[in-house]
Amino acid sequence: MNTRQALTGIFATATVIIVGWQVGAVALGQGAASSTSSTATTTSNPASGLKSGTYTGSNEQTQFGDVQVEITVANGTITDVKTVVLTGNEGRSDQINSQAAPILRSEVLSSQSANVASVSGATYTSDAYLTSLQSALDKAKG
């Protein structure tokens, strides 16, 4: 009996920890909105929501060398995600830190502004210019 109770207790504790990890992972996934490695979840405070601070994930071996993900949390949301390369040469760490990652349209759409000074786009012909945003801008600011 004593042995059985002890084992049950251990399993219950393990379950709490696993659930806690999953809760933490979900929260992080929503906040990061990018394809960041899930190693960030392993050492952040799992069960207690997101506390402000900077958290570093465990080492993960990748083609770029050993990598850690570092997240910064402020007021319950992730404000920054960095990939820290622990080993490997300079070029490789540049590569992983500068890579183009998927970004949601909604993330960039919120940046639309009526106050643009100029508009960049694929090269237009002089005819196509007439219907372009740049043309409207040139007319408006005449």
Partner 1 sequence: MRHVFDSMGTTISVELDGTADDAARVEQIFHGFDRRFSLYRDDSELSRIAAGRLDLVDSSDALREAYALALEWRTATGGVFTPHRPDGVIDLNGVVKALAIERSGQSLGSDWIVNAGGDILISGADRVVGIADPVDRAALLCSIVLTGRRRAMATSGSAERGDHIWGRSPEFAQATVVADDIITADVLATAIIAGGSATLDDVTAQFDVDVLTVDRDGQLRATPGIRTALATGQPDSEQAEA
Please say which residue, 1 or 117, places its beta carbon nearer to partner 1.
Answer: 117
47: phi then psi, degrees, rounded to nearest 5? -80, -15
* Angle, alpha carbons 96-97-98 (nearest 5°): 95
Binds partner 1 (CB under 8 A): choice among 8, 49, 53, 86? 49
Instruction: Please tell me the distance from the alpha carbon of residue 21 to that of residue 15, in angstroms, as a whole number.
Output: 10
Closest distance of CB 57 from partner 1, Å: 17
Please say which residue, 12 or 74, places its beta carbon nearer to partner 1.
Answer: 74
Residue 102 is encoded by which pair of tokens? 């998927």
Q: Should residue 9 be labelled a site residue for partner 1 when binding is judged by CB under 8 A?
A: no
Q: Should residue 118 be labelled a site residue for partner 1 when binding is judged by CB under 8 A?
A: yes
Q: Should residue 102 be labelled a site residue for partner 1 when binding is judged by CB under 8 A?
A: yes
Per the DSSP assignment, residues forming a β-bridge with 54 are 72
Q: Should residue 101 be labelled a site residue for partner 1 when binding is judged by CB under 8 A?
A: yes
Q: Should residue 97 be labelled a site residue for partner 1 when binding is judged by CB under 8 A?
A: yes
Binds partner 1 (CB under 8 A): choice among 14, 76, 86, 89? 76
- How far, in Å, are 18, 111, 128 from residue 138 at the CA level? 59, 21, 14
| Contact between residue 65 and residue 92 where contact means Cβ atoms under 8 Å apart | yes
Q: Should residue 4 be labelled a site residue for partner 1 when binding is judged by CB under 8 A?
A: no
Q: How many CB atoms lie within 10 A of CB 45?
A: 13
Q: Using CB under 8 A, list all residues that contact partner 1.
A: 49-50, 74-77, 91, 94-95, 97-105, 107-113, 115-126, 128-129, 131-135, 137-138, 141-142
